Amino acid sequence: EPEVTQTPSHQVTQMGQEVILRCVPISNHLYFYWYRQILGQKVEFLVSFYNNEISEKSEIFDDQFSVERPDGSNFTLKIRSTKLEDSAMYFCASKASSETQYFGPGTRLLVL
Amino acid sequence: GIQVEQSPPDLILQEGANSTLRCNFSDSVNNLQWFHQNPWGQLINLFYIPSGTKQNGRLSATTVATERYSLLYISSSQTTDSGVYFCAVGQGWGKFQFGAGTQVVVTP
């Protein structure tokens, strides 16, 4: 069964550094998402992406965040200047239509 | 936005017991999924169930969309069923709104 992949699985960075989280969605999917989960809390929506542009973003997704689909396969989330409170698990998801959203295994980000 | 409430927040079961987890949502939805978050933090998709009933082994789920709730049944629970169960709802191809989850602990 096809699956969403994410790299790296873990990343440790210093406060103020830029990080790029990478995702490879399922190949025929059209809708892409990023979510995050702070330890012990629920999963929160960050941004959705369709037709090479952001379709919706949450208030968490401020100017420090950006997303890109640089080629036909990758979908990236960039955090320009990380803060301690950005420490979380970041999930990428994709879907083909109005059905199942498929989630990747997540990237655990720790900001020191 | 859509409000999602899950109950109970915590559940302790003895191995072999049955249980029911509930998800209430505040608006009409046409996407609903149940997930199990394993100890490594991965979200394992259990069911895509915007309406009706589905079964997969010892797990089954029912969504009554007109009454805005969904139920997840775990039968003959095993220790591997431990973890957090999340309900997520959405409309069309839009974002998911997650509930706060139910933490399940199955003891031997």
What are the pLDDT tens digits along chain B (108 aa)?
899 999 999 999 999 999 999 999 999 999 999 999 998 999 999 999 999 999 999 999 999 999 999 999 999 999 999 999 999 999 888 899 999 999 999 999
* Burial class of residue A97 in the structure, from the number of CB atoms within 10 Å of its CB (0-12 exposed, 13-18 middle, 19+ buried): exposed
Q: Is the bond into B8 cis (omega within 30 degrees of 0)?
A: yes
**HSE on the CB side for B7, CA within 13 Å?**
4
CB neighbour list of residue A26: distance below 8 Å, 6 or more residues apart = A2, A3, A4, A94, A96, A102
Query: A48 and B30 in contact by Cβ < 8 A?
Result: no
In the DSSP assignment, the letter for residue B80 is G
Q: Does B86 touch chain A (CB under 8 A)?
A: yes
A45, A91, A108: residue with CB nearest B43: A91
pLDDT digits (tens, 9 = 90+) for A50-106: 989 999 999 999 999 999 998 878 999 999 999 999 999 999 999 987 678 999 999
Query: B93 and A108 in contact by Cβ < 8 A?
Result: no
Q: Does B103 touch chain A (CB under 8 A)?
A: no
Query: A43 and B33 in contact by Cβ < 8 A?
Result: no
Q: Does A33 touch chain B (CB under 8 A)?
A: yes
Reading the block at residue A91, the tokens are: 């999930």
Q: Does B31 touch chain A (CB under 8 A)?
A: yes
Report which secondary-structure segment, H or E, holds B54.
strand B52-56
Return d(Cα B50, Cα B64) in angstroms, integer.
Answer: 8
